[in-house]
Every structure is written in C-alpha cells, then in structure tokens.
A and B are shown apart, each in its own frame.
Chain A
Amino acid sequence: DTEVTQTPKHLVMGMTNKKSLKCEQHMGHRAMYWYKQKAKKPPELMFVYSYEKLSINESVPSRFSPECPNSSLLNLHLHALQPEDSALYLCASSQGFGVYNEQFFGPGTRLTVL
C-alpha cells in the first residue's frame, strides 16, 4: 500500500465552526507533514511530525492545531478560521528524517471558509 488518504475531500465551514481534517498512511512511515496550497501556487509547509512528535511548526496561527495520535494517523483541527484560510490542504508522509526519504502526498482536502 503506497497511498496517503485524506478525508474529507471537500469541506465548507463557517468562521465559528470547529472541524478536523484527517490523514492516514499504512506504509510504516514515521514522518508526516501538513501543507497548505493556494491555487496555482506551490505547497507551503505547515507542520512536520516525526515519530509522533511535532518537529516543525512553520509559525502557523493557533487556529490550526495538529495532532498525531499514532504513527499512521495525522489530524489537523480547525477553529475560528478566516476566509483567507481557504485552500487545498495536503498531507504527506515519508519513511523518516533525512533527505533520502521521498515524500508521498495525499490528494488533499479542499477547504472553503465562509
């Protein structure tokens, strides 16, 4: 299984809602990532987890809260978002730290904040 899955595919939420994005991989990878991607732009790194511990937070606002309950699962909890947070949210995983580890991307969750 060489797949990263993300749910839901699409999400529409109001600025006062709380929602969560989910990412799963069953490749035994120990590093997982959240990226934000605006239309026709490259992905921007948000968070990196390694061995279920948060390793990198790219100065992301606290209205985005990541969680890694186990080595296969990565969540992104959303609260009090702004319309400018509307984007494609990509999850990725890699075998571990180190440059030799290819990142496998999921299909993304397209988020619209009203």
Chain B
Amino acid sequence: AQTVTQSQPEMSVQEAETVTLSCTYDTSENNYYLFWYKQPPSRQMILVIRQEAYKQQNATENRFSVNFQKAAKSFSLKISDSQLGDTAMYFCAFISYGGATNKLIFGTGTLLAVQP
C-alpha cells in the first residue's frame, strides 16, 4: 500500500524567514509524481509544486522549492521569504503511474502559520 506521512501537524515561521515542511512516502512503484498542495483558510486548494520521480532535478516555483530524495523517499517543501499569504494547510500528495485513474494519496497535512 502507498502511504504519505507528514510528521509536523503545525509549524510557525516569521515573515520573511525560510521554513521547511517534511514529507515522506512509501511505495514500491518506480514511476510516480509528488505534489504539494496549499489550502488557505476558507479558500480552495491549489497546486504549489510538482515533482516527477524520474527527474533528478528538484522542482522550483518562485519562492517554493523541493528537496526530493528518491532513495530515502523524502519530499520536503522549502518556502523562502515567507509571506502572510503563505498561511495555510499544506498537503503532500502522491500518485503512481500504474493506476487507471488519477487517484491522489494525501498526507495528513501541516498547518503553517506565518507570523508578522
């Protein structure tokens, strides 16, 4: 069975600082995608960043970057220059190539609070 684990239920960071959210996963598949989704309070979930397992280069999107360690099955998210608008629940998610549908497996989430 495939699982996604986020060991930090809550985190706090000062505005303009850097924070790293952890995610580990377990799978026997070789081909898969990993995602970080952001869900702000009372707002819809949006995709922050995506990593394809066959790519060694870590994905980056502006202030968001990942540290993808395939052998260790680790996929952390780094947010640089944190902003108040980054306050949200962050979900790590996984999907494998093998399935017939686009079925995401989510972690339990990390609630990030950016303090002014």
Contacts and interface: CB of A to CB of B under 8 A. Distances in A.
A25 interface: no
B102 interface: yes
B interface majority secondary structure: loop
Contacts of B45: 43, 90, 105
A interface majority secondary structure: loop
A101 B102 contact: yes
Interface residues of B, number: 24
Contacts of A107: 43-44
A108 B43 CA distance: 8
Contacts of B32: 99
Interface stretch (B15-23, B58-66, B92-100): B92-100
- The listed residue with most A CB atoms (<10 A of its CB), out of B91, B101, B104, is B101
B106 A43 contact: yes
Interface in B73-104: 89, 91, 95-97, 99-104
A42 B33 CA distance: 18
B101 A55 contact: yes
- The listed residue with most A CB atoms (<10 A of its CB), out of B89, B95, B102, is B102
B84 to A, nearest CB: 20
Interface string B22-56: 00000000001100000000011111001000000
A74 interface: no
Interface of B: 32-33, 43-47, 50, 89, 91, 95-97, 99-104, 106-109, 111
